[in-house]
Amino acid sequence: MVPLKRRKTLPSDAGNTVSDSSRHKVPNKFSQVVLFLLERKMGASRRFFLSQLGRNKGFQVEDVFSESVTHVISENNCGTEVRTWLESQGRGQSLRVHLLDVSWYTESMRAGHPVEITHRHKLQEQQISEAEVALFSVSSYACQRRTTLDNHNSNLTILTGVFGVGAKTADRWIREGIYNLEQLRDSGQTLNRAQKAGLEHYDDLNEPVTKAEADAIGEIVQKAVNSVLTGSQVALTGGFRRGKLTGHDVDFLITHPEEGKEVGLMPKVVAWLESQGFLLYQKTTRNSYLESKDGPARPASNMDRFERCFSIFKLTKGKEQESTQPEEQNDLKTKDVLRPHMQADTDQQLCELSKNYQMEAASHKIWRAVRVDLVVSPISQFAFAVLGWTGSKLFERELRRWAGHEKNMSLSSHALFDNTQNKYLRATSEEEIFAYLGLEYIPPSERNA
C-alpha cells in the first residue's frame, strides 16, 4: 500500500505573508493575541479566507496549532468538542487558551481590534456521547463515510454572495473598506459582466432555489436540448441529486448516447434559450479536455474542462401566482402609488414613498433570476461527470485523494487512470467507478460530506 503523504504545513511565521507577491506584509498590531482557527466544521476554504482577513487587519493568525496560541476560534463546535480535539493533539490539559465562537472573530474584524470577550463569545461545555467523541478518530476519508443532509456545517456569505465574486476579490474589496452591497455600488469599482449581473439580481440569486423550481428549469432545458438534437439526455446533478430540497443554483449534465453527437450542441441550446427570452446572462467555455496515453496531465485548476455555460435564468413564477397577478396589474405606475400623497412637502417623504413603490413593484414581479450551469459531456465520460458533478465538494475531493493515495489512480470528472497498469479504466455507471476504487457504493443521498 502506498503510504499516505503528510500534508505540507507552513512555519508559524509564514502565515503573515500572503501568496500574492504584490501584497505587502502587514505587521502584527496585537502582540498579546495569537489566533488559531479550527478547521473542523468550518471548512478549509472558509478558514483560509478568514485567516487572510485577520492577517490583513494586523492579527497574528497561525496555520498550525502551537503553544503560542492564545485564542482558539471555532464554528458550530461546543467547548467539550474543542477540548476533545485539543486532547487528541496532546495539548488538552496543559494549555490555558480562550475557546471562542467565530462571532468574536468576525466582530473583531469589523472593529479592527480584539473586542472584549463576553459570555456569549465563549464556547459552552456540553455532554457528548462516546460516539460523538469517536468522530475525532474516524477515517479521514469522507468518501468512506455516509453523510446525510442532516448535518451542521454552514457557509459564510459576505460579498462572495455576489455572482462572479470569489474569495480573492471579496478580500481585496474588504481591504479597501467595502463591506456591503451599498458600499460596493457607491465605490466606483469596475465590475465585469458577471459581477454586474450578480449585483443587479443579488436578491433573487441569494434566495434559495426550490426543487420545484429546479424541475421547472429542467423541463425548459430538456425542451431546448430536444429541439436541437433529438435523443439527448439531461441529468439534474448537484445538491438536488443528493436529496436537497433547496440550493443556491441548478446544475444539468447533457450528453447523447452516440459519441461525438454532442459536439456543437451547447451553442445551439444557448441560442434557443436566448431566442425564447430565458437567459439574463450567459458565458460559455469550450471543452479543452484531451486524453494522453501517458495518463492525464496535472490540471491547471480543480475545475474540469467540459464545455459549459454559466448562466442566469429568467424563470417565470408558478401559474397559480400569475393568475392572481396579471401582467397589466403588475405594471404599476408611480403616479398611482404617489397620488394619495402628493401633499408630501419634503424630499425625504418623497424618497420614502418612492422606495415603497419600488418594494411594492418588486413584490408583484412574476419572474425571478436563478443561477443555472449547463455542462455537455461525451457519453464515454458521462458516468465520471455525473459522479463529479453530484458532489458534495468535500466528498469528491476525498474520493480523488483516496484514488491517488490508496489505489495509485488518478480520478477526475472526465476519467479514471490506473497509474500501476498505465491505462484508462472505462465505466458506464457510478457503481463501476466505486468498484474500481475498492469502495462500497454510496448513493447520492449519503454523499453530503
Structural domain boundaries of the chain? 14-138, 159-205, 209-290+302-317+371-446, 319-338+346-365
Confirm or reject CATH 3.40.630.30 for domain 159-205, answering yes or no: no
Catalytic position from the list 101, 204, 249, 304: 249
Query: Is 14-138 CATH 3.40.50.720?
Result: no
| 249 counts as catalytic | yes
Q: Quote the CA–CA distance of 88 and 138 in Å, as a whole number.
A: 12
Q: Is residue 406 within 8 Å of residue 419, measured between CB atoms?
A: no
361 burial level (CB within 10 Å; 0-12, 13-18, 19+): middle
209-290+302-317+371-446 classified as CATH 3.30.460.10: yes
Predicted pLDDT at 73: 93
Query: What pLDDT score does 170 carry?
Result: 86
Please give the pLDDT value at position 356.
55
Q: Indicate which residue of 251, 294, 304, 336 is catalytic.
A: 251
Confirm whether 159-205 and 209-290+302-317+371-446 share one CATH topology.
no
- SS3 breakdown of the chain: % helix, strand, coil, rounded to 5? 40, 15, 45
Q: Would you say how long the chain is, in residues?
A: 449
What's the CA gap between 445 and 240, in Å, rounded?
9
pLDDT digits (tens, 9 = 90+) for 58-95: 999 998 888 889 999 998 888 888 888 777 666 654 45
Q: Which residues of 177-201 are buried (b: 16+ CB within 10 A; e: fewer)?
A: ebeeeeebeeeeeebeebbebbbbb
Query: Using CA atoms, how far apart are residues 157 and 332, in angstroms rounded to an integer?
Result: 33
Distance CA(311)–CA(333), nearest Å, equals 31
The residue ranges of the chain whose pLDDT is under 50 are 1-24, 93-94, 131, 133-138, 151-157, 319-345, 350, 353-354, 357
Q: Residue 373 has what pLDDT?
A: 97
For residue range 309-323, list pLDDT tens digits in order. 999 999 998 743 333
Q: Residue 403 corresponds to which cell in the numbers above?
A: 484514488
Half-sphere exposure of 139 (CA within 13 A, CB side): 14
CB atoms within 10 A of CB 390: 23
pTM for the predicted model, two decimal places: 0.59
Predicted pLDDT of residue 68: 87
